[in-house]
Structure 1
Amino acid sequence: MYEPIRTKSVHTTTEGSYVPHRSREEELDIQLAGHLSALLAVTDELGLDAAAERIAEQVARLRGAPPARHAARTAAGASALHDRAHALAGRALVVAASRADTTVAILAAERMDAHAAGAAGLVGAP
């Protein structure tokens, strides 16, 4: 009724084969660097140079190389950009707390406060 399987399954590995795995810490570093890179892009777009440099330093520390930066501008208004940056900083804060990186956690919390104030339209917020 059914023809027997003649080849090995693609779902099994052969004896002695090496399948690379990353540790939890490496995965968290990759995730944190990604969130910070996204935050850096929005921070650059807002023109917050001092904050962008601090974020870029942390991305470089996590990745071992300076981040790629560009000056692409979107049609989003400042309030929308602050909202986006606030959300990204919140994600970075969660991952930083998970990996016990107090430097990034403090930076992310500061950026959350600055972007919350910026979204609210407070003068001199960021």
Structure 2
Amino acid sequence: MYEPIRTRSVHSTMAGGTSDFPHRSREEELDIQLAGHLAALLTVTDELRALAPSPDLDTAADRLAEQVARLRGGRAAVRAPLTAAHPEPHLAALHRRAHTLASRALVVAASNADTAVAILTAERMDAHAAALEPRELASR
């Protein structure tokens, strides 16, 4: 009733077979994804540092850059220059964006069992939530 398969599958996983494309492990894929989330969070953190400098944000940016470099095998993250240009309402949007990025990174860090990044991102989520509370309550 059906015609038999006459060629080898392109998805073959036979031992000893060579592959024309590189394979990455699940851990490597998660590291790549996590480094991307942390690099995005670092960019937003650098922008926040430009608008509202604080020692907490400086420390967070350094810790984020360190983790991105670790996940990327020593390659440093690209850093945004510190130049303030936007008004105050932009600050709340940046805190919301940073909170969202930190939560995404936390999910990937938990999946990858990366405790150091999980702790760092949870701390950042708390910090950005705290920065939003007075503004969010005042606007209601």
TM-score by length of 2: 0.72
2:66 matched residue in structure 1: 57
The one-letter code sitting in structure 1 at the alignment partner of 2:72 is: R
Aligned length: 111
> 2:29 maps to what in 1?
27
Q: Distance in 2 between matches of 1:23 and 1:92?
A: 19
Once the two structures are superposed, the pairs formed by residues 98-113 of structure 1 within 5 Å of their partners are 98-113=111-126
Cα distance in 2 for partners of 1:89, 1:74 equals 24
1:69 alignment partner, SS class: coil
Give TM-score scaled by structure 1 length.
0.79
- CA deviation map 1:36-57 (0-9, x unaligned): 0000000011102111001000
Structure 1 residue 121: Cα displacement: 3.3
CA separation of 1:74 and 1:28: change in aligned 2, threshold 3 A: farther
Q: CA deviation at 1:102?
A: 0.4
Distance 2:78 2:109 in 1: 21
The CA distance in 2 between the partners of 1:74 and 1:102, in whole Å, is 36
Segments of 5+ residues of structure 2 without an aligned counterpart are: 1-8, 12-16, 50-56, 136-140
- Equivalent position to 1:68, from 54, 64, 78: 78
Identity of aligned residues (%): 66
